[in-house]
Chains A and B, each alone.
Chain A
Amino acid sequence: MTADRRGGAPERSEEDAAPGAGSPGHVGRLIRLGGRRSHGRIYATIRWGGVLVFAAIVVALVVSLVWQAAPAFRHSGLSFIFSGTWNPDTDQFGAGVFIVDTLITTGVGLLLAIPVGIATAAALSEFLPRRIGGPLSTCIDLIAAVPSIIVGLWGLLVLIPIFQRDVEPFLQKIPLLKHLFGGGDLGSGILLASVVLAIMMLPTMVALTRTALQGVSVADREAALALGGTRWQVVRRAVIPGARPGIEAAITLSMGRALGEAIAVSLVIGGGVTFPHSLLANGTTLGSAIVSFFDEATGVQRSAVIGLAVVLLVFTTVTNIGGQLLVRRRGGSRRQALPDQGVALTDAEVVPA
């Protein structure tokens, strides 16, 4: 950038037009022309410095985790991912059980949270009168800020006794499903972890879905109404299809949070290290394994625990990239008026799930 600025005036404008790769914003071009050298340089240094530090942090995050985990990957090879045996005494480190438990808890959590979340968002934005729906939505947005440790504490001290006393015996009586709920009268376990994850996902999912539903244009709604649709038919045929990318993004982002949640899950999942035989069995997710095993781990085992973080990072990154692509797909036709604006962060994305 500084090189650009030192050139003569005519060359400068040519060079300025070139580097944008796409179309450099006209404001950006003006700024570069208008800058007096020394101040411009300080400003440019601040901006480029910020970007470089940010990039360095991202690179360092990936490199240092992979670097620290490398000994374990070398030690275990592919069995690190596919083996279900995690036994520090015999130096066997297979994350299979943790991966399976992570996928099950996230999946069951999503199964619980998606229908409730979408229906709640629909109730808030479409069915309830605004003077009730508005304050309720604000409340749910605020509840999204509840830290995961508090949800975990509540799960540990309140939900575990309830599950032990009422929920689990009840589930075991259901005729067809009882094979899913064999064993365990412990309270803690995979099912409770899923429920806790669902509770943590709900506020974020509701807030994002609500934003998506409200983003559907009045014209689309009126078109459906003009065709004689009832309120529900408007929602079903016009609003939900219109908000679909936003809803999908809400689900994916919640899924990323659920995959990576460590603290709350570690408090309620119990900590079994064998493949689960039922939803009531104790388990260990990638996140809760890191919380439980990191402290006493040394040598290869510590490296293996960091390896779990790498696996987790891969899972969540893939999910989030998917989510971002979904969000960006919405930027196709409808948002051409605001090119490259990305997605507006709602409060719900900022606060923890």
Chain B
Amino acid sequence: MTLHQVGVEVDESRAEAVPASRWRRLRPGDWAVRLGTIALILGVWELFGPTLNKLILRPPSDIVRAFFELVANGELQDAMSQSFRELFGGLGVALVLGLVIGIASGRWRFVYNAIDPLVSALYSVPSVALVPLIAVAFKSIGDPPRIATVALFAIFPILINTQQGVRNVDRQLLEVARSFHTSERRLWTDVIIPSATPYVLAGVRLAIGRGLIGMIVAEFFIGLVGLGYLIIAYENVFRIDRMFVPVIVVATMGILMMGFVQWLEGRIAPWLKKEQ
């Protein structure tokens, strides 16, 4: 992550994310630093890891070999299709519910008062603590409780950021809109939605990270399937090289999905990157 992106993290209390206007397009030099850091870590790991602890710090070359083994026997593909079903299902639910509740509570005081204590409470409780409850509530160890777990992990950044985005609409622009006789519908499309968009997208980026955590936690606690199963299964038999494969898949997913959202932001909020 660049420094600019770090500024976008939502603080654990309740702050709204900084709108994404400070993100800058990465230059070739930035990429050199990013890839160089990774190469350096991998190099040190490859050379010195095995000398420190042969069993646990298996070198990256072993992990690469393990990756192809798991692809060859089909285990990785099966686990990924299982896990991504949960991930995208859960993120979808979180996105829809987060947007609807976020918009409603950002716009109407009644909804805000009704849900705010609940949101604060659920957001403060470590989501992990609620996972066994979800399993019991669904009376199943199938996909639905795991999707619900991902949604629980992912919903709050989306909900809170959407709410803050809608609440923080520039009052001066609301007045401009009134001055030109806006309708309620046009007020949403001209002012409220565009001004909330950067907040929502910052929330989605955070939700992706939390959703991936939720996915693995759900697979540990509910049914033991997917990438979470691979981690536990190979850890138990000390195949640390194979255990790392799903971990790296999850990390790669995080990078790709957050990059996708950032790209999406450039497409749907082009005014943000046009500064200077």
A binds B: no
Residues on B facing A (Cβ under 8 Å): none
